[in-house]
Amino acid sequence: MKLFYSPASPYVRKVMAVAHEAGCAGDIECLPSAAHPVNRDARIAASSPLAKVPTAVLEDGQVLFDSRVICEYLAERYGSPALFPSGAARWAVLSRQALGDGLLDAALLARYERAARPAEFQWQPWYDGQITKVQASVDAIEAIAAELPTSAPDIGAITLGCALGYLDFRFADLDWRAEHPRTAAWFAAFDELPAMRETRPRDAG
């Protein structure tokens, strides 16, 4: 499998963490890319109309996007059902994945407002609205932190871990740990799992 990749993308991190858990990270060829909300990367756009990372190209040429689809594909193909449990547990895990993805969506929109939009066009209420979503999401994680696994992770825990890691990476000034001690304790343990250690975000170059 080929994967359009950015070492800074939390959604790419999510896919690669699942790949490490599934034991297939070494089978993935990471393709260089420069995904951007305005300037489309023609290399990704040739495979995906969204031109976003992660985008996966399978051996038979089939293209998969976004992270949710790619993660479920890897779990099924490489026999890791614990990542996506069945029965009642499935809905709790998928809801946690949605919470983490939603936190990341808001965080990325806030970052794009500062990093991609010219200063004269930036809108403070928009930025503040996204940060409010981020903070509310961390509040929600705090309420369930005691239920989250610190070993044998599922897709919900991986997504939440990647979301909190992205806050550390791009929004250190938020200091989310200050008012969320249970979340901080969970993340301190969870982020030391091999799949998380091996995929910590970094700027390219």
Q: Are 19 and 110 found together in one domain?
A: no
Task: State the pLDDT at residue 32.
Answer: 87
CA 47 to CA 78: how far, in whole Å? 24
pLDDT value, residue 200 = 97
Alpha-helix residue ranges (DSSP H) falling in the chain: 10-22, 42-45, 67-77, 88-115, 124-144, 155-170, 181-190, 194-197
Angle at 39 between CA 37 and CA 41, to 5 degrees: 100
Domain that holds residue 189: 85-194
The reply to whether 132 and 116 lie within a common domain is yes
187 shares a domain with 122: yes
Q: What is the residue-level pLDDT of the chain in tens, covering all 205 positions?
A: 999 999 999 999 999 999 999 999 999 999 989 888 889 999 999 999 999 999 999 999 999 999 999 999 999 999 999 999 999 999 999 999 999 999 999 999 999 999 999 999 999 999 999 999 999 999 999 999 999 999 989 999 999 999 999 999 999 999 999 999 999 999 999 999 999 999 999 987 5
For the chain, the domain total comes to 2
Query: Is 201 domain-assigned?
Result: no
DSSP structure string for 19-65:
HHHHT-GGG-EEEE----SSS--HHHHTT-TT--S-EEE-TTS-EE-
Q: Is residue 43 part of a domain?
A: yes
Q: For position 63, what pLDDT does the model report?
A: 98
* Other beta carbons less than 10 A from residue 23's beta carbon: 12
φ/ψ of residue 71, rounded to 5: -65, -45
89 shares a domain with 62 = no
Same domain? 180 vs 145: yes
Cβ-based neighbour number of residue 143 at 10 Å: 11
CA 90, distance to chain mean position in Å, is 19
Q: Is residue 22 part of a domain?
A: yes
Q: Are residues 77 and 118 in the same domain?
A: no
CATH of the domain at 123: 1.20.1050.10
Q: What is the pLDDT of residue 181?
A: 98
- The reply to whether 37 and 105 lie within a common domain is no
Report the pLDDT value the prediction gives residue 38, as an integer from 0 to 100. Answer: 86
pLDDT at 147: 97
Q: Which pLDDT belongs to residue 205?
A: 56
Same structural domain for residues 121 and 91? yes
| Domain CATH for 24 | 3.40.30.10
List the structure tokens of 53.
Answer: 């990372």
Instruction: Map tokens 């509040």 to a residue.
Output: 139
Predicted pLDDT at 204: 74
Instruction: Kindly state whether residues 17 and 37 are assigned to the same domain.
Output: yes
* 187/132 Cα distance (integer angstroms): 21
Residue type, 74: L
